[in-house]
Structure 1
Amino acid sequence: MFRVAFIYIAEPYQCYHTASVASALARHPGYQVTEYVNFPETVAHLSRIRRDLNAPDLPVKFFKKSPLAKLLGRAKRFDRERIVILRENIAELDGYDAIVATEYTAGILKTMGLKKPRLICIMHGAGDRLVNDEVLIRNFDFTLLPGPKVEKYFQNLGYLNTQNSKIIGYPKFDVFEAVRQKKPFTFKNGKDFVLYNPHYQKKLKTYDTCLNKMIAGFDKQDTYNLLIAPHIKIFHKGFGFYKKALKKKNTHTVFIDTGSPAMLDMTYTASASMYIGDGSSQVYEFLANPRPCIFLNPKKLEWRGNPNFLHWTLGEVVETPDQIMPAVFRAFDRHEFYRPLQEKLFLETFGSPVLGASQRGADAICEYLGSENQKT
């Protein structure tokens, strides 16, 4: 019997990338899967995913937390909190045969004294953005990748090779396939909506300079609604005041989501007619069905030729808030130019077929652990 722990050390968005793999693995004979969570709300998301997949719930445990970890959590020092929690749970996690995570931070478990379990990463995101702790991928014993683009990137860095990694696709699409059977999101007025998906990273963020002017611009026209779904980490600071301030900006044509499951399960990326973004790789999820994209560059970053901004080649890039609305109204006319590249990069990012990554991931874990067991 292989005992495998799936760990969700960060916010609930992580479970949309790995929970379906956990369910598929639990169906394999000889595998016992337990899920560890940090945030209480993650449990509700896991249950929701299982309902949509028609899969049974799996055993869930909360990470043990010292007073220090709890204090860091209340102060929203989540990066520091994650490290403390992982260190405090080493002894329990060391009792498993494998630990599966989608957070690079979990790579530090090996430096903290983790000995017995094989450490497995199911990579989330779609690349095109420099991540400070991506070097930790070298600490994982086995890594499951979404597609050839990311594989090539990490192989060129020398972090991965064909023996310690495998392409499986993007498990989140399996979750979405189940979710989309439900009614898609629409505004009450029935008009198409544009999705603005701002990232939290300081060097990339655009919501501080573009959000209010974008809202004003959409208020002056009656063709599109505007839906704003920020990266959930934008709300780490402010102790809830920023959420309240954003909610006050909602109108019958503008809706700002500050924390619903639809921000995480691709409901908005599937239903929107157009995408406006900056550094988020969610644009690739949007391009499962190619549609017009606009990218914001108010900081006037030198992005051309930079692989971390490859997705900015998939739509018009505007540099001032005043240019946003004109770009919106010409986006469909210009989409014919961008669509072939959107289709090409989507395939390079996620491979083919799109669906079935969860089962492929579970099978790959079984094959890997089985071969490692034979070595010992």
Structure 2
Amino acid sequence: MTVKIAFVYIAEPYQCYHAASVASALSALPDCSVTEYYSFSDSAEHLRHIRTLFGGNDSLSIRPFQKSVFTKILHIGRRLDREKSHVFRENIEELNNYDAIISTENTAAFLKQQGLKKPKLILIKHGAGDRKVRNEYMVKYFDFVLFPGPKIRNYFLKEGFTTEEKSTSIGYPKFDIFNAIKAEEFSIFPKNKPIVLYNPHYKKSQTSYYKWKNFIIESFENQNYYDLVISPHVKMFHEGYFVNEFLLKRRNSENVYIDTGSINSVNMTYTSNSSIYVGDVSSQVYEFIIEPRPCVFLNPHKIKWQGNPYFKHWEFGEVVENRNDIMPAIRRAKEQHYLYLDAQKEMIRKTFGTMPLLGASQRAATAIIDYLNQINMA
């Protein structure tokens, strides 16, 4: 009997890079039918690209979610959080035809409130960072959860949001995708200088973006040793009707490159090609230190972070609380990296475990099928 599985990408295209390789692995299995549903039109291009990278299985169907006029207006108006629940509600009848629904976002738990009956709801937990997420309690509504490794799984077990039987660790599928695309040429600057990646988060109470972004741009414009890539979290631009992106992109210069949401901003291109990471609370730092390198963290809000498990990653480099210390910290980051090297290596082990960094997509596919077979036999 054929198992029917739907993947749902309810947010921006970055979600594709956390789960689409798993969809490809499942679609290659016998008696397994997979369909991917997306909400953002840009996601279709990303999904097709990933499908091609993993063998181009034509049986893997890619479809947009059906949307009412009202829901389309919410999308145009960038009322994106409100839009999600409407999209799920308007597609619940079709989704109920599947044996399993797989998401990489906690809010897919809303499906159970909106009439999801037959399918098992499965979460591929995206991100590997330490930041506390407001809706993390929603994980308890999933029937099965796949974690990137022991650190995050143990946290959710301790909080009582999942159980040993309802969860497993499979690694980080995004690494498989990057491994498939890393041969593509990366060249955005005319000169061969060290690249600094500035990767601010969107969370207003913790981000450095609004207070220090302009100062950082001006500081790099006034020096000639580094090139700077600014790649904020894509949710930074939920508001503003594209005005914020337009104004920010006008700051591009010879040694400052600003990306507000291209494919390179979500597929590990910048984290893999940069020499120094500068950020605040984004989990992308864990993608950066897979190859341990210098980091600098910005704390304009003067958060009391020492000993706080939600800021564990700030032990990977110097933490700056005064904007005038940013460039000096960046200049000494390489020579002082030895102070933070052991912390980076230890957290990679705790975060992703001892399993190989590659192969998470296949491990996830196997875990999902084994779980569904076990349920059917019960």
Report the TM-score range of the alignment, normalised by the length of the smaller protein.
over 0.9
Kept after mapping to 2: 8 A contact 1:123/1:146: yes
Residues 223-260 of structure 1: CA distance to partner in whole angstroms, max 9, x if unpaired?
11111001111111111111111111111100001121
Residues 293-339 of structure 1: CA distance to partner in whole angstroms, max 9, x if unpaired?
00000000111111111101111000121110000011011100101
Shift of 1:211: 1.0
Q: Which residue is equivalent to 1:319?
A: 321
Q: Which residue is equivalent to 1:80?
A: 82
Residues 155-210 of structure 1: CA distance to partner in whole angstroms, max 9, x if unpaired?
11011121000100000000000110222345211111100001111111211111
Alignment of 1:176-187 (within 5 A): 176-187=178-189
Gapped runs of 5+ residues in structure 1?
Answer: none
One-letter identity of the residue aligned with 1:51: T
Q: What's the C-alpha RMSD, in Å, of the aligned pairs?
A: 1.0
One-letter identity of the residue aligned with 1:362: A
1:62 aligns with 2:31: no
Q: CA separation in 1, counterparts of 2:67 and 2:246?
A: 29
Task: Name which of 202, 224, 227 aligns with 1:225.
Answer: 227
Task: Name which of 103, 106, 111 aligns with 2:105.
Answer: 103
Task: Name which of 223, 233, 240 aligns with 1:238.
Answer: 240
Q: CA separation in 2, counterparts of 1:152 and 1:201?
A: 25
Question: Helix, strand or coil: the match of 2:335?
Answer: helix
Kept after mapping to 1: 8 A contact 2:201/2:236: yes
Question: Helix, strand or coil: the match of 2:340?
Answer: helix
Q: Provide the TM-score with structure 1 as the length reference.
A: 0.98
Q: Which residue is equivalent to 1:172?
A: 174
Alignment of 1:112-261 (within 5 A): 112-261=114-263
Question: Helix, strand or coil: the match of 1:336?
Answer: helix
Q: How many residues align?
A: 375
1:365 aligns with 2:365: no
Question: Helix, strand or coil: the match of 1:251?
Answer: coil
Shift of 1:51: 2.5
Q: Which residue is equivalent to 1:20?
A: 21
Gapped runs of 5+ residues in structure 2?
Answer: none
One-letter identity of the residue aligned with 1:369: L
Shift of 1:55: 3.0
One-letter identity of the residue aligned with 1:3: K
Task: Name which of 301, 304, 307 aligns with 2:306.
Answer: 304
Show structure 1 runs of 4+ deviating over 4 A.
none
Q: CA separation in 2, counterparts of 1:356 and 1:184?
A: 24
Shift of 1:217: 1.2
Q: CA separation in 2, counterparts of 1:54 and 1:286?
A: 27
Question: Helix, strand or coil: the match of 2:186?
Answer: coil
Residues 63-87 of structure 1: CA distance to partner in whole angstroms, max 9, x if unpaired?
1112221111111010010011111
One-letter identity of the residue aligned with 1:56: N
Q: CA separation in 2, counterparts of 1:192 and 1:333?
A: 14
Kept after mapping to 2: 8 A contact 1:185/1:268: no
Deviates more, 1:344-353 or 1:2-11: 344-353
Q: Which residue is equivalent to 2:357?
A: 354
Q: CA separation in 1, counterparts of 2:249 and 2:110?
A: 38
Q: CA separation in 1, counterparts of 2:167 and 2:9?
A: 21
Q: CA separation in 1, counterparts of 2:118 and 2:316?
A: 44
Kept after mapping to 1: 8 A contact 2:130/2:311: yes
